[in-house]
Amino acid sequence: MMYDAAIIGAGPAGLSAAINLKLHNKSVIWFGSKAMSDKVEKSESIANYPGMGIISGSELNEKFLKHAKSLDLEVEDKMVTDISVTGKGFMILAENSVYEAEKLLLATGYVAAKGFENEDRLLGRGVSYCATCDGFFYKGKTIAVFCGAERYEHEVKYLSEIAEKIYLFTPYKGESELDSIENIERLKSPIKTIEGENKADAVILVDGTKVDIDGIFVLRTAVAPATVLKGLEMDGPHIKVDRETLATNIKGCYAAGDCTGRPYQIAVAVGEGNLAAHSMLED
């Protein structure tokens, strides 16, 4: 089926857009985490979302989830790995499924513009965003895994059952079940560069160490938008938008929330999600 709109990202901006499109009877496919926004969830206290008083991030996130459910909006908990522009709209590859939508909203939050050095260039050639899709090809091999959030740890576990050896990198702190798995070695220094001529064959860490690998899995809450959607114009680390409509340089594609720039604020994100939805309705 052809959806009226696809939304990438289940934070405040994505939610606000999803609500407005749904209320206008549009069919929406919405990608993100079933747990909504990690960033909101982890905020200890939020005092400047008007009407909520002083509220914990997890309480607010719970209210966001409840609001979505009350409108029968459900998040497709799949990582979007590629988006292409077709004559009629957009074709979206999420793990192993393909979706089509007329309009597209990027509400991916703030992510580094291009991920790791060379990540973009080597994507599909030793760099993968999807354990379920590509894990199989690394049977008996040595791989690096960047696990961007705790909720992806089950994918790391899955990869540990296939690969011979895993070098694990996490941006968050704390031990986990993964540390008791024999073929997983956690490295402290973060990844700086992915190396390889035609195929990823090593990672260089910030401390200068070179680690030889057969491939790397990058499991992020959000993939850098310019990496999955070729030709998307950026402004430094942010998606370039027309501020009046939140349109990007690609026809039919809009962006809202932290991915469009500062200030990184929940209130601003819901405002932009609402504005983008209205632009999409008028487009």
- Return residues touching its own copies (CB under 8 A): 12, 15-16, 19-20, 23, 47-54, 60, 63-64, 66-67, 70-71, 243-244, 262-263, 265, 267-275, 278
Minimum distance of its own copies from residue 200's CB (angstroms):
38
* DSSP code for 177: G
Confirm if 202 and 212 have CB atoms less than 8 A apart.
yes
Angle at the Cα of 32 from the Cα atoms of 245 and 242, rounded to 5 degrees: 15
| 49 versus 158: smaller Cβ distance to its own copies | 49
CA-nearest of 228, 204, 203 to 217 is: 203
| 87 versus 263: smaller Cβ distance to its own copies | 263
Minimum distance of its own copies from residue 14's CB (angstroms):
10
Tokens representing residue 168 in the block:
């694990």
Minimum distance of its own copies from residue 172's CB (angstroms):
25
Minimum distance of its own copies from residue 261's CB (angstroms):
8
Q: What distances in angstroms separate CA 167 from CA 59, 105, 183, 198, 259, one per listed residue?
A: 35, 34, 9, 21, 29
| 194 versus 276: smaller Cβ distance to its own copies | 276
| 70 versus 97: smaller Cβ distance to its own copies | 70
Distance between CA atoms of residues 38 and 57, nearest Å: 9
